[in-house]
Amino acid sequence: MKIKSISIVFLAFLFCCILSTTANSQPQSIMGFSPEAAQNQITLEKTFDQLVRPEHLDEWMKYMSARPHHVGSPYDKKVVDFMAEKFKNWGYEVTVESFQILFPTPKVRLLEMIQPTAYTASLAEPPAEGDASSALTAEALPPYNCFSIDGDVTAELVFVNYGLPSDYEELEKLGVDVKGKIVLAKYQGSWRGIKPKVAAEKGAIGCLIYSDPGDDGYFQGDVYPEGPFKNEYGVQRGAVMDLPSSPGDVLTPGYGATSDAKRIPKEEAPSLTKIPVLPISYHDALPLLKALQGPMAPTNWRGALPLPYHLGPGPAKVHLQLEFNWDMKPAYDVIAKWPGSTLPDEWIIRGNHHDAWVHGAADPISGLVTLMEEARVLSELAKSGYAPRRTVVFCAWGAEEPGLIGSTEWVETHEDELKKKAVAYINTDGTSRGYLFAGGSHSLEKFFSEITEVVDDPVKKVSVLKRRNAVELVNNRPSWSYYQLGALGSGSDYSPFFQHSGIAAFNLGFGGESSGGEYHTMYDTYEMYKRFKDFDFAYGAALAKVAGRTTLRLANAEILPFEFQHFTETVDTYTEEVIKLAETLRAQTMKENKLIEDGSYLLTADPSETFVLPKVKEAVPYFDFSPLENALTQLKAQAAKFDELIKKGVKTGQNYTALNQVLKDMERTLTRSEGLPGRPWFKHFIYAPGFYTGYGVKTLPGIREAIEQREYKSVNTQIEKVAEVLQLYSGKIEQANKLLE
């Protein structure tokens, strides 16, 4: 309470200083603001920056990551209460919504090699020297993959690289079959849940995933606690549900997991794995890999362990036994609203999750404390008479780690209200030092780029845009004249907003200068974060400035700052990509079929190896992309016209209600109620997580995946669906243009 009253006095003082120093400076424009409103907004943002205090981030992280706080743990509830209390003290309307969700935790974990030698895996992460938090193992969930089924399997082992579909194609050529076997896959290369999914499709009966030191261990740098990289015992926990089909609670697919919701039996839940899966350290993988024989793994599959990487199968034979407590646990969402002063029924939503696999200092607390500081500063501004025009909703999500559950259930429960009120969703998750990484809706790219020009990198003292551009240039990529948003795949809480409900979204964070191997291990602690991550929280503060501006500008804009030329150009690029993809696949297939038929493949095979001749593949037909290209032509014309009209400027005092209603619903026009092929939960037809990549994005997903997966019959249908979506989108811009005329 004391801090608050001091800050308000300080704020009043600051306002005076800023007003007097900026009186003579050049007027700056901001998208969506009239000249007068832009000046007020700039003053407000400068005050916002002055009020951001990195020491708060430090203090709150220290408390919130002090103990393991996974879903359903006592400390997760403490973290929730701590935040709710803070938001209340700052003056927010706070509710804690709880959902009842299925959250399996391990009961039995046994992995032993029974041939050719005996070895029992330790499956443990011992405390690290100098890191007291890492010794709290009794409270922590041991390493496991959440939503693996129970299982007791014994079989020969096969090494499958990253376990991607392309890895199995390679194995097939090498004559190695995984049917009836247990596969050993490396972490990385895809989202982890893809590995057991593909393994099961190929007939494997069990799946082990380990972290090779080549990827995030000693090959990259010193290991914890000497350095930030993964030591020999570190294990990445994590969910393995079929996330690209649908995230959220597995017993209530597509609707909210409220206490009275109808639940499907666990046995019918489509997104559980089909085979048991367990993550292990390389300490435990080493004896297994050493015991493998059979062909050598392809050169680019080999890791950094001191051994020849053989594929198997066998003679290593392992026994894997897994049993879980299939309990219902509460997922708590903390929802803190600051009602808008003039447009309370238009919401800007800002979120980050609070649950962790263990202590989660980096993931998710580093992003969450940033969000909390934004909320605190916003409340100080609002209480001094600068309340946001639209309602700002701060959300701390529960149960993100097992499958974006808290956010998905909240969106599914409040879908009708969100359809009416949501303008945009701004997400963060773990963050660290380095450059700004941002993905999002391309209709907000120009708007976001303006923000990256006015927030400075705390160390290099140039704009975060300039710094990011330097990274592109140094890595031989084209220069960025504006901030180029990445396309959103999945892996954090924006998915239900963006890909399910069609709400314009961002995902923001800093990184690139502080890599490590702590992700989802016992060693993602406050002690680790202070030594190897954003130790002084300077970049956390910079993120608060970027995300804070994004929220405040969207909240205060007179005309919502959407724009369509960036979007159109982006979709144009995606269209060129899918056309090229079809051409490349056609040429490749023709070439490979020829090599099979003319015997070249057989002539190169080593007679000592178990080479198997690949099968001739169906030729790739020609597809009709013209509906898509025609829709794009129409879109380009409307987007250009909007640009021309909006250039006339925003007029003070003019009523833009009708225009804003159209703009607010633009992103939703890109969704279709039937959803993507085979996964109706995902309704966005421009961006989706890849069905076989997991987190990695697939743009124009219906078309792209039909080509990639050689489902040629559905390609033209998907082209027509995207064309229809773009036509509707053009129609909406036309409506906006009429209102602007």
Q: Are 552 and 388 in contact (CB under 8 A)?
A: yes
135 in the Ramachandran plot: left (φ > 0), alpha (ψ -120 to 50) or beta? alpha
- Rounded to whole angstroms, the Cα distance separating 490 from 280 reads 24
* Closer Cβ to Zn ion, 409 or 429, answer by number: 429
Residues 6+ apart with CB under 8 A from 667: 441, 443, 498, 502, 503, 504
Query: 373, 429, 457, 667: which one contacts Zn ion (CB under 5 A)?
Result: 429
Contact segment (CB under 5 A) with Zn ion among 333-341, 428-436, 471-479, 541-549 equals 428-436
- List the interface residues with Zn ion, window 548-577 (CB under 5 A): none
Sign of the CA dihedral with 177 first, then 186, 142, and 510 last: negative
CB of 493 to Zn ion, least distance (A): 8
* Closer Cβ to Zn ion, 353 or 679, answer by number: 353
* Closer Cβ to Zn ion, 49 or 429, answer by number: 429
Q: Are 701 and 690 in contact (CB under 8 A)?
A: yes
| Tokens of residue 427, six digits | 């997400």
Q: Are 236 and 192 in contact (CB under 8 A)?
A: yes
Q: How many CA atoms lie within 13 A of 268 on its CB side?
A: 6
Contact segment (CB under 5 A) with Zn ion among 358-366, 376-384, 411-419, 724-732 equals 358-366
* Closer Cβ to Zn ion, 366 or 501, answer by number: 366
CB of 430 to Zn ion, least distance (A): 5
* Closer Cβ to Zn ion, 243 or 382, answer by number: 243
* Closer Cβ to Zn ion, 314 or 496, answer by number: 496
Alpha-helical runs (H) found in 303-388: 367-381
* Closer Cβ to Zn ion, 364 or 690, answer by number: 364
Contact segment (CB under 5 A) with Zn ion among 110-118, 355-363, 419-427, 476-484 equals 355-363
Contact segment (CB under 5 A) with Zn ion among 276-284, 426-434, 540-548, 681-689 equals 426-434
- List the interface residues with Zn ion, window 149-208 (CB under 5 A): none
* Closer Cβ to Zn ion, 366 or 718, answer by number: 366
Q: How many CA atoms lie within 13 A of 103 on its CB side?
A: 25
- SS (HEC) of 195-222: HHHHHHHCCCCEEEEECCHHHHCCCCCC
CB of 390 to Zn ion, least distance (A): 27
Burial group, residue 233, by CB count within 10 angstroms (0-12, 13-18, 19+): buried
- From residue 221, alpha-carbon distances to 134, 213, 227, 541, 650 in Å are 20, 9, 7, 27, 53
DSSP-derived 3-state class of residue 582:
helix
Contact segment (CB under 5 A) with Zn ion among 44-52, 363-371, 506-514, 629-637 equals 363-371
The length of the chain in residues reads 741
Query: 156, 215, 363, 493: which one contacts Zn ion (CB under 5 A)?
Result: 363
* Closer Cβ to Zn ion, 363 or 705, answer by number: 363
CB of 179 to Zn ion, least distance (A): 36
- List the interface residues with Zn ion, window 246-285 (CB under 5 A): none
DSSP 662-722: HHHTTGGGGB-TT-BTTBTT--BSSEEE-TTTTTSEEESHHHHHHHHTT-GGGHHHHHHHH
* Closer Cβ to Zn ion, 215 or 400, answer by number: 400
CB of 432 to Zn ion, least distance (A): 12
CB of 336 to Zn ion, least distance (A): 19
Query: 225, 330, 364, 702: which one contacts Zn ion (CB under 5 A)?
Result: 364
Q: Are 41 and 33 in contact (CB under 8 A)?
A: yes
| Tokens of residue 11, six digits | 């704020």
CB of 356 to Zn ion, least distance (A): 8
Q: Are 533 and 370 in contact (CB under 8 A)?
A: no
* Closer Cβ to Zn ion, 238 or 434, answer by number: 238
Report whether the peptide linkage leading into residue 315 is cis, meaning its omega lies within 30 degrees of zero. yes
Binding mask 377-396 for Zn ion (x = CB under 5 A): --------------------
Contact segment (CB under 5 A) with Zn ion among 233-241, 362-370, 584-592, 594-602 equals 362-370
Contact segment (CB under 5 A) with Zn ion among 101-109, 255-263, 374-382, 423-431 equals 423-431
| Tokens of residue 725, six digits | 């979506």
- SS (HEC) of 37-48: HHHHHHHHHHHH
Binding mask 308-347 for Zn ion (x = CB under 5 A): ----------------------------------------
* Closer Cβ to Zn ion, 510 or 574, answer by number: 510
Q: Residue 518, interface with Zn ion (CB under 5 A)? A: no
Q: Are 543 and 464 in contact (CB under 8 A)?
A: no
Determine the size of the site formed for Zn ion (CB under 5 A): 3
Alpha-helical runs (H) found in 277-397: 282-290, 367-381
* Closer Cβ to Zn ion, 363 or 667, answer by number: 363
CB of 364 to Zn ion, least distance (A): 4
Q: Are 276 and 261 in contact (CB under 8 A)?
A: no
Contact segment (CB under 5 A) with Zn ion among 121-129, 422-430, 521-529, 680-688 equals 422-430
Contact segment (CB under 5 A) with Zn ion among 138-146, 379-387, 424-432, 630-638 equals 424-432
Query: Which residues here bind Zn ion, judged by CB under 5 A?
Result: 363-364, 429
